[in-house]
Amino acid sequence: MKALVQELRPALLATLLLTVLLCGVYPLVVWGIAQTVFPSQANGSLITNATGTVIGSELIGQPFTDARYFHPRPSAAGNGYDGASSGGTNLGPLSQKLIDQVTQRVADYRALNGIPSNVAIPADAVTASASGLDPHISLANARLQAPRVAQARNISTDRVLRFIEGATDGRSLEFLANQG
């Protein structure tokens, strides 16, 4: 025990010094560089509209329910797309609640987009993401929604499909890029 007590002094001093360096100097240096070199990213990749109002972040998904917009994935973040309460459903594969939720979403998705029962629904359209803030939807999901969006906006489906190709981000679609 005495040996342990003897070590407490260097332990205290080492903790103090390391705290100043690693929890003070280091994050502030990163902050300084980030704010100078990558200010947009460091501050949340925020998007501002023509009147100067911040209308979202490039990286964070938002809830869209109107027919004119592509609909994002189901979200378990707060009441849906709560940017201050990220998270998934954490429902297991045999959860009654999960099956009920997906059954309902499949029915809603078919009705809204006029998808016949012989066409399978893309998994991302009816399952909740991990963060609840997923800004992407799959290409298949976007294409199935395209005719509905076209109709609601009174434009041709081809134009919407071409727009989707242009907004494709690697293997997935940049959801927020679809703002009208």
Partner 1 sequence: MIGWIQLALFVGVLALLTKPVGLYLYRVLTPEARVGLEPVFGGLERMFYRVIKVDPKREQDWKVYAFSMLAFSLVGMLLTYLILRLQHLLPLNPQGFGPLSHHLAFNTAASFTTNTNWQSYGGESTMSYFSQMVGLTLHNFTSAAVGIAIAAALVRGISRASAKTIGNFWVDLIRVSLYVLLPISLVFAVFLVSQGMIQNFKPYETVQIVQDSSLDSTLASTQVIAQGPMASQVAIKMLGTNGGGFVNANAAHPYENPNPLSNFFQILSIFLIPAGLTYYLGRMVKSQGHGWAVWIAMAVMFVGGTLVAWNAESTGNPRLTVLGVEAADGNMEGKETRFGIFNSALFMTITTDASCGAVNSMHDSMTPLGGFVPLFNMEVGEVIFGGVGAGLYGMLLYVILAIFIAGLMVGRTPEYLGKKIGATEVKLAAIGILVPVISILGFTAWGVVSTWGTATLNNIGPHGLSEVLYAFSSATGNNGSAFAGLGTNVPWYNTLMAIAMLGGRFMVIVPVLAIAGQLASKKLVAEGAGSFPVSGVTFTVLLIGTVLIIGALTFLPVLALGPVLEHFLMIHSTQLF
CA R_g for the chain: 23
Q: Residue 171, interface with partner 1 (CB under 8 A)?
A: yes
Binding partner 1 (rule: CB under 8 A), the pick from 22, 156, 158, 165 is 22
Q: Residue 60, interface with partner 1 (CB under 8 A)?
A: yes
Q: Residue 154, interface with partner 1 (CB under 8 A)?
A: no
Please report how close the Cβ of residue 157 comes to partner 1 at its closest, in angstroms.
21
Pick between residue 76 and residue 150 the one whose CB is nearest to partner 1.
76
Q: What are φ and ψ of residue 39, in 5° steps?
A: -60, -35
CA distance 121 to 140: 9
Two tokens at 8?
């407490």
Please report how close the Cβ of residue 149 comes to partner 1 at its closest, in angstroms.
13
Residue 27, CB half-sphere, CA atoms under 13 Å: how many?
6
Please report how close the Cβ of residue 150 comes to partner 1 at its closest, in angstroms.
18
